[in-house]
């Protein structure tokens, strides 16, 4: 059976990606998520950042670090190279407004295209009336906008902000509740002593890091409150540097605490606590 145009295009994209030292695939969309996987052949255990782009503008990004049994069985590292990109209604609208097709690229450590995706458009049911000449032809794709690199990076956020500002104040959505997993990360539940509560500014994820890195004796956050700030100094300097550019999880309470201005003797002006 001869290759279809879509299948042949995907095959060529994969071949080009492999020649760049990246192997991966865009498996397709299911529900509100786009699934696929990506791996750097020279560093098979590295977790790659993947982005969804429309005409050069990045609309979403994620990390390919999800485990899949089929990848592990196929010898693709330890199997933790899959990704899932959330496809919100706004992202679908942005793709449709920019030609109807998005590129999926590995963006770290280098930009390599691994596939494409197009939203499914609902086609109106045909009527008895004869179709007009305009309806028998596909609408021409809009010209590629002239955007700078910075505009491409900010494009998605700017489009979302523009849409939000256009809504009446009563209809602007408030922040959605945290997903269950995130809620556990930022909960003050002591998961070791389940009937206890963590001290202020400590939460599930930071407590996990404190024990994982064997810092529970170095920083006695429950018994010595000053150790909490010392812990965050290490958390934001040493630990964050180990995450390859990924931001460290911080609660709103901790961010406010670290940004609190402090004035001490001899200083011209206040410094933030973290400084």
Q: What is the pLDDT of residues 28-81, one digit of tens each?
A: 999 889 999 999 988 989 999 999 999 989 999 999 999 999 999 999 999 999
Q: Which of 23-37, 108-122, 123-137, 220-234 has the lowest mean pLDDT?
A: 123-137
The answer to whether residue 143 is domain-embedded is: no
Q: What is the pLDDT of residues 174-196, one digit of tens each?
A: 777 778 888 888 999 888 887 78
Closest CA to 23 of 51, 3, 42: 42
Which pLDDT band, with edges at 50, 70 and 90, does 109 fall under?
A: confident
- Domain count along the chain: 2
**Residue 26: CATH number of its domain:** 2.60.40
The answer to whether residue 126 is domain-embedded is: no
Same structural domain for residues 68 and 164?
yes
> Residue 163 pLDDT more than 90?
no
The answer to whether residue 140 is domain-embedded is: no
Same structural domain for residues 191 and 63?
no
């Amino acid at each position: 059976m001869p290759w279809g145009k879509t299948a042949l295009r995907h095959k060529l994209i994969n071949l080009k990606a492999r020649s760049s030292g990246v192997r991966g695939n865009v498996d397709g969309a299911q529900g509100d998520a786009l699934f696929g996987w990506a791996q750097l052949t020279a560093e098979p255990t590295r977790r790659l950042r993947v982005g969804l782009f429309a005409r050069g503008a990045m609309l979403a990004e994620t990390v390919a670090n999800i485990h899949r049994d089929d990848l592990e069985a196929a010898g693709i590292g330890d199997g933790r190279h899959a990704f899932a990109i959330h496809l919100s209604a706004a992202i679908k609208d942005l793709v449709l407004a920019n030609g109807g097709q998005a590129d999926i690229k590995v963006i770290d450590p280098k930009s390599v295209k691994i596939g494409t995706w197009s939203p499914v458009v609902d086609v109106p049911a045909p009527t008895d009336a004869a179709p007009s000449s305009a309806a028998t032809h596909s609408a021409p794709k809009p010209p590629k906008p002239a955007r700078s690199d910075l505009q491409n990076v900010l494009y998605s956020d700017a489009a979302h902000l523009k849409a939000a500002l256009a809504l009446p104040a009563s209809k602007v959505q408030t922040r959605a509740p945290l997903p269950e997993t995130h809620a556990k990360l930022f909960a003050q539940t002591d998961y070791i002593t389940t009937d206890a509560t963590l001290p202020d500014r400590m939460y599930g994820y930071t407590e996990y890091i404190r024990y994982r890195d064997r810092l529970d004796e170095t920083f006695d956050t429950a018994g010595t409150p000053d150790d909490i700030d010392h812990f965050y100094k290490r958390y934001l300097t040493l630990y964050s540097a180990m995450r390859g550019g990924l931001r460290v999880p911080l609660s709103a309470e901790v961010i406010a605490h670290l940004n609190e201005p402090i004035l001490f003797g001899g200083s011209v002006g206040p410094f933030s606590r973290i400084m």
